[in-house]
């Protein structure tokens, strides 16, 4: 059998390999997308948690500064009277 006669069979084999490769790539990409989405969600949740903790810390500090300022103003008023 000549190389030219083998060509249709070789093309069919190559076509099958390409189809299989596409299916494998599709599955791999889908799995990667799923994994990436999960990582992004986890990162978002961690970011929210950290923001809430830091917000609570900042609000606590702001309240403490406010109370200190009120006490300082009260002392200043007493000194003026």
**Count of domains for the chain:** 1
What was the pLDDT predicted at 1?
Answer: 80
Q: Is residue 17 part of a domain?
A: no
Position 39 in a domain = no
In a domain, 24, yes or no: no
| Structure confidence at residue 81 (pLDDT) | 76
DSSP H helical ranges for 1-81? 3-80
Q: What is the pLDDT of residue 65?
A: 98
Q: Residue 22: its pLDDT value, please?
A: 98
Does 65 reside within a domain? Answer: yes
Q: Taken in order 58, 64, 70, 72, is the CA torsion positive or negative?
A: negative
What are 7's two structure tokens? Answer: 């060509």
The answer as to whether 6 is a domain residue is no
Asked, for residue 59, whether it belongs to a domain, the answer is: yes
Residues 5, 3: Cα–Cα separation, whole Å? 5
Q: What is the pLDDT of residues 5-61, one digit of tens each?
A: 899 999 999 999 999 999 999 999 999 999 999 999 999 999 999 999 999 999 999
Domain extent for 75: 45-81
Maximum separation of any 2 CA atoms in the chain, in Å: 116
Would you say residue 70 lies in a domain? yes
């Amino acid at each position: 059998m000549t190389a030219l006669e083998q060509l249709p069979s070789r093309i069919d084999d190559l076509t099958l390999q390409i189809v299989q490769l596409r299916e494998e790539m599709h599955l791999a990409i889908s799995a990667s997308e799923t994994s990436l989405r999960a990582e992004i969600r986890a990162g978002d949740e961690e970011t929210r948690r950290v923001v809430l903790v830091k917000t609570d810390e900042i609000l606590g500090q702001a309240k403490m500064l406010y109370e200190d300022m009120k006490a300082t103003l009260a002392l200043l008023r007493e000194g003026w009277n």
